[in-house]
């Protein structure tokens, strides 16, 4: 089943062409990494997926629904590079808010929040305000929010940024676990070394154009992702 389908997707900011005729398909259960140098158009692609930007031409659908509609977003979890919510909210309340929006009842929410806190090893932070958390702790709260409700597509924007080595390991373990549960992962990153062992598919975006996209092993043919990336982008 195709989860993400972009057809001739283009977007520009004034004269700057952020996306130029991108065609991409991501199937259910894939772990897909969108790679590219800064300014390649990765964030714009993610924003269109989330309905935060609208394409100027072409289309993007999620679960066969037009991206940007609330129904298309109902099965999406999104973790931005820097998770930020109202600083005066406690961790537990932040997650309860996300659980409510995900459609969980009050009772379901309490169970799901407590489970998510446990899985991210942040149960002791439950009563702490977001303003008192480090960047790594905030990212864990953001990750915990992804576990609430029935999210089938998880979009992670630079997820390794700001995490310490233990945090990175925990995140990788969690993502592997989510993948084994059949979740589709979409990772937007420029840290190739972290993404390579995790993802089974990737695409390289440069100057708005999708240069390549496909299954990792068939594209790399024994090369490292770093070497392949430099070869393609240069």
Partner 1 sequence: MNVRAFRLLIWNTVQKEVRSKSFFMAVGLTLGMLGLGYAVMQAFREQIQLEGGVEVVGSGQLIWVYYALVNAWSIFLGLMFGLGCVRSDVTSQVIGQLLALPISRGSYLAARVIGSWILVSFYQVLSFALMGILFSESLKEISMTALLVAPLISFFPTLAAAVLGLFVSLWVGKTSGMILTGVASLGGSWARSHFSSVEDPMANLTLLKVVGLILWIAIPRFAAPHSFVQVLAGVPEATIAWADIAQFGLSGIALFAITSFIFRRRGF
Label residues 60-96 b or e (16+ Cβ within 10 Å = b): bbbbeeebbeeebbbbbbbbbbebebeeebebbbbbb
How far does the chain reach from its first CA to its final CA, in angstroms? 34
C-alpha span between 25 and 4 (Å, rounded): 6
| Binding region for partner 1 (CB under 8 A) | 47, 50-54, 70-71, 73-74, 76, 78, 80, 83-86, 88, 97-98, 100-103, 105-106
| Smallest separation (angstroms) from partner 1 to the CB of 74 | 4
CB of 28 to partner 1, least distance (A): 19
Q: How far is the CB of 214 from partner 1 (least distance, A)?
A: 27
Question: Measured from the CB atom, is 70 or 165 closer to partner 1?
Answer: 70
Rounded least distance, CB 45 to partner 1, Å: 13
Question: What does the alpha-carbon distance between residue 230 and residue 233 come to, in Å, rounded to a whole number?
Answer: 5
Using the Cα atoms of residue 152, residue 206, residue 212 and residue 57 in order, give the sign of their dihedral. positive
Beta carbon nearer to partner 1, 183 or 216: 183
Query: How does strand 153-157 pair with strand 184-189?
Result: parallel
Query: With respect to partner 1, which residue has the nearer C-beta, 21 or 80?
Result: 80
Which segments of the chain does DSSP mark as H helices, in order? 42-50, 70-73, 91-101, 106-119, 135-146, 165-180, 192-195, 216-220, 225-233
**Minimum distance from CB of 158 to partner 1 (Å)?**
14
Structure tokens at 102: 């995900």
- Nearest residue (CB) to partner 1, 73 versus 183: 73
Query: What's the min distance (Å) between Cβ of 132 and partner 1?
Result: 15
Residue 70 or 182: the one with the smaller Cβ distance to partner 1 is 70
DSSP letter for 123, please: G
Which residue, 149 or 203, is less far from partner 1 as judged by CB? 149
């Amino acid at each position: 089943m195709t989860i993400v389908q972009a057809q001739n997707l283009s977007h520009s900011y004034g004269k700057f062409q952020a996306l130029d005729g991108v065609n991409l398909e991501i199937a259910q259960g894939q772990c897909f990494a969108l790679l590219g140098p800064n300014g390649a158009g990765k964030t714009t692609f993610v924003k269109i997926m989330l309905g935060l930007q609208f394409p100027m031409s072409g289309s993007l659908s999620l679960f066969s629904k037009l991206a940007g509609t609330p129904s298309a977003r109902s099965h999406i979890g999104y973790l931005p590079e820097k998770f930020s919510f109202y600083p005066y909210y406690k961790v537990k309340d932040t997650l309860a808010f996300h659980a409510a929006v995900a459609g969980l009842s009050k009772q379901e929410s309490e169970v799901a929040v407590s489970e998510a806190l446990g899985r991210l090893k942040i149960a002791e932070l439950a009563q702490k305000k977001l303003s008192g958390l480090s960047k790594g702790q905030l990212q864990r709260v953001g990750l915990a929010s992804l576990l609430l409700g029935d999210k089938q597509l998880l979009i992670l924007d630079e997820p390794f940024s700001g995490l310490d080595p233990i945090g990175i390991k925990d995140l990788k373990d969690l993502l592997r676990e989510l993948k084994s549960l059949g979740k589709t992962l979409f990772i937007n990153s420029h840290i190739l070394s972290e993404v390579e062992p995790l993802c089974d598919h990737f695409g390289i975006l440069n100057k708005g154009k999708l240069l390549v996209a496909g299954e990792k092993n068939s594209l790399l043919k024994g090369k490292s992702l770093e070497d392949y990336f430099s070869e393609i982008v240069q």
